[in-house]
Chain A
Amino acid sequence: MLEVSGLTTKYGAISALRDASLSVGAGEVVGLIGPNGAGKTTLLGSIAGLLEPSSGKVTFEGVDVTKASPEALLRSGMALVPEHRRIFVDMTVEENLKIGGITRSGAERSESLKEMAELFPVLRDKWDTAAGFLSGGEAQQLAIARALMSKPKLLMMDEPSLGLAPILVDLVFDLIDQLRADGRTILVVEQNATRMLQAADRAYVLRSGEFVAEGTGTELLERSDLFDTFVGG
């Protein structure tokens, strides 16, 4: 579904990401792990059109989308839950969800709103609350629900467990399991490597802007040489 080949993205003269290649097949949950500053967010930003790669290629369902804008990529079926959630704090929960479904018809949007209220009971209880008043866990659920409102073929999440209490981290990974059971295709960037490897079908390990390992979750969990990467060394 998603093919990334030889992607390099620079901030000025510094390459935050070098020659990155990965693929995500339909129905797969793929993890992207690595310590802080490894280039994970840069990679997602480059795929989603927020950053312009200096070389390399991104294809989505066989179409070259390397230079596409974020709004065009969303329309082609890709949604990103951005780092730090970035929900619209001045808007209500409902409005946040509505803007997530802005590309769809009114009827489709209403239907998805109902689905989200069922999938996320916490949000249903705070439907008319300004999103700025939500707790971290609620805000993360809102960010994920908002991305699901566009009915994406590929859901990308950037550090969904960042800054959450352990019980809420469980909730995020339960949600990933649930979405996988629904047959969704997901690419998740995580610092919480162990949890991610348990949840993912396959994973890539990124360090200092380069991929250093790739494999199924269980394979990577057994690689003791990568331990320092997992714990952020």
Chain B
Amino acid sequence: MTELLQNLIDGLGRGSIYALLALGIAVIFGVMHLLNFAHGELITISGYAAYAMFQADFSWYVVAPAIVLVSIAASLVIEWVAFSRVRGASDFTLLLTSFGIHFLVSSVFILYVSASKKQFPRPGWVTNTFAVGDLSIEVFDAVVIGVTLVTLLATVALLQRTMFGLALRGAAEDFDTARLMGVKSNSVIRGAFALSGFLAGIAGIFWLMRAGNTAPSAGISPMLSGVIAALIGGMGSMRGAVLGGFVLGLAEVMLRSRLPDGIAPLTDGVVFLMIALLFIFRPQGLITVARAERV
């Protein structure tokens, strides 16, 4: 029982970051039908911005909010430089564009910074733990879960209570009809990229805090986790993306602690196998996006 609770907390901590990444991917997918393989580059770019700020002796208190701002700005710049040029193109063109951005960003850092990792300090409390009964809880996990919860609630409020949120949901459900209502396509797409950048920024803070370094290929791992979590949840569903993030985090932690020693290093492989099995039985993911027409 204790072990299960322990796994649950560890899994929620890990899953929180995945949920934020997946939600950012789902927001873009909803509005543009684009599976954004460049999403992880927001963390790569934020990572180098953090590295530069640490070189200039800034502390995490300044760097953390800066990461969010850099991530939002990078997301908007990527939209403006790349995606706005292929507006109205096929989904496949958009997908290729996102791959292009992914390779371009990592190449720029290899060419102009370095191919090797750049280290920066991790905050001291990242590895601290505190005890609740028999449970040993990482301060880091508690902070991640708390901040994620607040971020998700703020996002829900934005989507439910503001006209921008209404426009975004409308565009995600039926883009043409939203335009017929007067929703400006460019504004709603830019808004989606800003929101996606914000969510990636919050996730990026924790990702970078835990890693303590960045590299030209640093975005691949968070991008893959986010994309997989979004797929598990059911592409196109924002709720599903969040759920998928937590499911992926929990699955990873549960498997790592329960698989026999010989197989434990292959946890990622086992997770992928389980995802493959999930898609055999539920190709649409956990949450089905209903677009049924009642007559």
Chain A residues near B (Cβ < 8 Å): 48-50, 69-71, 74-75, 79-80, 82, 84, 86, 88-91, 95, 98-100, 102-103, 132, 134-136, 139, 146, 150, 163
The answer to whether B170 and A50 touch across the interface, beta carbons within 8 angstroms, is no
Q: Do the beta carbons of B181 and A102 come within 8 Å of each other?
A: yes
Report chain B residues within 8 Å CB of A79. Answer: 180
Which residues of A have CB within 8 Å of B184?
Answer: 71
**B177: CB under 8 A from chain A?**
yes
- In the complex, the answer to whether A98 meets B290 with C-beta atoms within 8 Å is no
Q: Which residues of B contact A86 (CB under 8 A)?
A: 174, 177
Residues of A within 8 A of B176 (CB): 50, 70, 82
A136 and B181 contact, CB distance less than 8 A = no
Q: Do the beta carbons of B179 and A70 come within 8 Å of each other?
A: yes
List residues of chain B with CB within 8 A of the CB of A136: 294-295
Are B179 and A75 interface neighbours, CB within 8 A? no
Surface stretch bound by A, among B49-57, B61-69, B99-107, B161-169: B161-169
Select from chain B the residue with minimum beta-carbon distance to A70: B179
Given known contacts A48-B180, A99-B178, A99-B181, is B290 in contact with A89 (CB within 8 Å)?
yes
Binary interface encoding of chain B residues 271-295 relative to chain A, with 1 for a CB under 8 A from any of its CBs, else 0: 0000000000000000000111111
Known contacts A86-B174, A136-B295, A163-B295, A91 near B169 by CB under 8 Å: yes
In the complex with contacts A89-B173, A89-B292, A91-B173, A150-B181 CB distance below 8 A: yes
- A75 touches which one: B167, B169, B170, B182 (CB < 8 A)? B182
Q: Contact at B169–A71, with CB atoms within 8 Å?
A: no
**Whole-angstrom distance between the alpha carbons of A132 and B291 in the complex?**
9
User: What is the CA–CA distance of A90 and B292 in the complex, to the nearest angstrom?
Assistant: 10
Residues A74 and B182 in contact, CB atoms below 8 Å apart? yes
The answer to whether A139 and B294 touch across the interface, beta carbons within 8 angstroms, is yes
Task: Give the Cβ gap from B257 to chain A, nearest Cβ, in Å.
Answer: 38
| Cβ contacts under 8 Å, B292 to chain A | 89, 132
Q: Is the beta-carbon distance between A71 and B174 smaller than 8 angstroms?
A: no
In this complex, which of B290, B291, B293 has the most chain A Cβ atoms within 10 angstroms of its Cβ?
B293
Residues of chain A lying within 8 A (CB to CB) of residue B173: 88-91
Beyond known contacts A88-B177, A91-B170, A102-B181: 9 more, CB 8 A cutoff: A80-B180, A86-B177, A89-B291, A91-B166, A95-B169, A99-B170, A102-B167, A134-B294, A136-B294
Give B173's nearest chain A residue, CB to CB: A88
Q: Which B residue sits closest to A163, measured CB to CB?
A: B295
Q: List 17 A-B contacts (CB under 8 A).
A: A69-B185, A71-B183, A79-B180, A82-B177, A84-B293, A86-B174, A86-B177, A88-B169, A89-B173, A89-B292, A90-B290, A91-B173, A98-B163, A103-B182, A132-B290, A132-B292, A150-B181
Query: What distance in Å separates the Cβ of B177 from its nearest Cβ neighbour in chain A?
Result: 4
Q: Which residues of A contact B169 (CB under 8 A)?
A: 88, 90-91, 95
CB-defined contacts of A135 to chain B, threshold 8 Å:
294
Q: Is the CB of A50 within 8 A of B180?
A: yes
- Interface centre among A70, A79, A82, A103, by most B CB within 10 Å? A70
User: How far, in whole Å, are A90 and B174 apart by their CA atoms in the complex?
Assistant: 11
Query: Which of B170, B292, B294 has most A Cβ within 10 Å?
Result: B294
Chain A residues, CB < 8 A from B183 = 71, 99, 102
B180 contacts which chain A residues (CB < 8 A)? 48, 50, 70, 74, 79-80, 82
Q: Which partner residue on chain B sits nearest A138 by CB separation?
A: B294
Q: Which residues of B contact A146 (CB under 8 A)?
A: 181
Smallest Cβ-Cβ distance to A140: which chain B residue: B295
A160 to chain B, nearest CB (A): 13
In the docked arrangement, what's the CA distance between A69 and B181, Å? Answer: 11
| In the bound complex, CA of A75 to CA of B181 (Å) | 9
Separation in Å of the B180 CB from the closest CB of chain A? 5
Cα–Cα distance between A44 and B292 once the two chains are bound (Å): 24
Question: B167 CB to closest chain A CB, in angstroms?
Answer: 6
Contact A99–B167 (Cβ < 8 Å): yes
A137 to B: closest C-beta gap in Å: 10
Shortest CB distance A72–B (Å):
9
> A132 to chain B: closest CB distance in Å?
7
Give the residues in chain B near A100, CB-CB below 8 Å.
181
On chain B, the residues within 8 Å of A98 by CB distance are: 163, 166
Measured between beta carbons, the chain B residues less than 8 angstroms from A70 are 176, 179-180
* Docked-complex contact A88 and B290, CB < 8 angstroms: no
Provide the bound-state CA to CA distance between A103 and B167, in Å: 11
Contacts of A163 in B (CB 8 A): 295
- Docked Cα-Cα span, A146 to B174, in Å, equals 15
Contact A71 B182 (CB under 8 A): yes
Q: Is the CB of A95 within 8 A of B166?
A: yes
Option from B166, B174, B177, B295 in Cβ contact (under 8 Å) with A102: B166
